[in-house]
Amino acid sequence: MSDFLPPDHSLPPNHFLNLPRPDIVVGAGDGIVDTTTLAAHDFDVDTRTGFMPPDSPISRLPEEWEPWEATLDKAMSMKLQLAVKLGLTEHEIAQSCSWRTDVRNNLPVLSTKGLTTSELLLRRAHHVLTYIMHSYIHTLPLDAEIRIPASISIPLLEVSAHLQLPPVATYSDTVLYNWDLKSPSEETATPALDNLRSQELFTGTNDEQEFYLASSRIEIRGVEALELMRATMDEMFVGDEIAVRRITGYLHKLAAVVDELKSILLDVRKGCEPEFFYHSIRPWFRGEDSDPLERKWAFEGLEEHPEIAQPTDLSGPSAGQSALIHALDIFLGLDNCSTGEEGALSEGQRTLLRRMQIYMPRHHRNFLRHLSANPRPVRSLVMQGDPKLVESYNDAVRAVKEFRDAHFRIVTIYIIGPASRERQARREEEESGSVENRPPLKGTGGTHLAQFLKGVRDKTADAMVTS
């Protein structure tokens, strides 16, 4: 399979992702190892890059799928504009119309058969096809139906079935598998946080890149958190007094790492301008459930493919799909210790957190499942009351709570604030009778969002243990 890959991107031949993978439709052939099962042990978590792949993801598919790459290149070079942009010019409307017409009339329905032998090619295909699909949907006139041409929908649905991911852009498309090194570094080294860049950007702007890179840097810095979790679990297995002392030290260190993650998150303000994010970047990510006009997405060509299921999970990408933060929650027992009192999560909110896992790469989902099934959870040891251990555990919980406080501030600056200003401007326009022909504002960035994020944050705070 690695024949397809440029040599500098090939994985070691014995890496589990380099083994032949079974075809999800036809099943495993004779002598083909089921890498999905192997993955349950490997989890595709790297000691240097964590949930990010150890090498920068491939940046181009082989010749056979060049029409997809060329279509995406064209969208990027034409600087297509969002249909929701205020004051869209005739020229901008004509540009996106001509790109979409080209996709509809000239892009063939390419076979995905040759991709299915390689996890890395499938990932690139998912990335390219979802970026094309989001470009197509979000440039469509607001009064048009959303009909995704078969040349995008059929290969995307096939690729998504193989990856067990929804057919929509996910955090793995925008962050995990969308990075490169600015300048090549030692192959074995963890990438420096300032040596990362993004591969594809809807807007071609540094603001969008900085938005993605805030998450990439958190993933890379989070590798030490994963290592501390692993070391703690090893010591839990030993369970003697020395082990407890060591765990105490690990939890304090974990708190310090999470404090750094918070600083990286807050640094997003240095490179990404909030109003630009809200009006010009975020709308590209919208999934079916955030359409301002509540239009449904129709995947054309499905009627000729009874073997492909109608997609149901079509929310847009979010760093809430980062397995790192979910792993911290599970490791510290923050997801299980609901008190049922005020501030705890409602069933719907808990479901929302769980639903985010559907959008994660399946190996990472398996990793979280494995972590949840840990027979010796750290919180149970802490509950035995060793004062120093309690203190260090509470330090780690404090750090996660403060990360969520900072996240809430960021969401207020980037979404809740701009959304409220937008509503205010609308009200003023309505009062003065100068309303433009615009779609109604849908309740993104309002009370529900604040309630949800505060609920998760308060539940984290509730997890502190009193000795």
332 counts as binding ligand HEM under rule CB under 6 A: no
Whole-Å CA distances, 339 to 61, 330, 405, 463: 50, 16, 20, 9
- Name which position in 82, 125, 214, 251 contacts ligand HEM (CB under 6 A): 214
455 counts as binding ligand HEM under rule CB under 6 A: no
Residue 252 annotated as part of some ligand binding site = no
- Name which position in 150, 156, 265, 463 contacts ligand HEM (CB under 6 A): 265
CA distance 221 to 265: 11
268 counts as binding ligand HEM under rule CB under 6 A: yes
DSSP 143-203: TS-EEE-HHHHHHHHHHHHHHT--SS--HIIIIITSEEESS---TTSPPPGGGEEES--SS
CA distance 335 to 456: 9
414 counts as binding ligand HEM under rule CB under 6 A: yes
Q: Which of 209, 218, 171, 164 is nearest to 362 (CA)?
A: 164
68 counts as binding ligand HEM under rule CB under 6 A: no
Q: Which of 460, 452, 190, 217 is nearest to 320 (CA)?
A: 452
- Name which position in 150, 415, 419, 463 contacts ligand HEM (CB under 6 A): 415
- Binding residue count for ligand HEM, defined by CB under 6 A: 20
Interface segment toward ligand HEM; rule CB under 6 A; list 34-42, 100-108, 181-189, 213-221: 213-221
Least separation, in Å, of the C-beta of 292 and ligand HEM?
15
- Name which position in 1, 45, 213, 218 contacts ligand HEM (CB under 6 A): 218
- Indicate the residue among 95 and 349 with the shorter CB distance to ligand HEM: 349
* Interactions with ligand HEM, residue window 311-330 (CB under 6 A): 318-320, 322, 325
The count of other CB atoms within 10 Å of the CB of residue 307 is 8
Backbone angles phi, psi at 428, to 5 degrees: -65, -40
- Indicate the residue among 61 and 415 with the shorter CB distance to ligand HEM: 415
- Name which position in 411, 450, 461, 465 contacts ligand HEM (CB under 6 A): 411
Q: Which residue has the tokens 């100068």?
A: 434
The β-bridge relationship of strands 196-198 and 297-299 is unpaired
Q: Identity (one letter) of the amino acid at 3?
A: D
- The site for ligand HEM (CB under 6 A) is made up of 211, 214-215, 218, 265, 268, 318-320, 322, 325, 404, 407, 410-411, 414-415, 449, 453, 456
Q: Which residues are annotated as a binding site?
A: 407
Residues of the binding site for heme b:
407
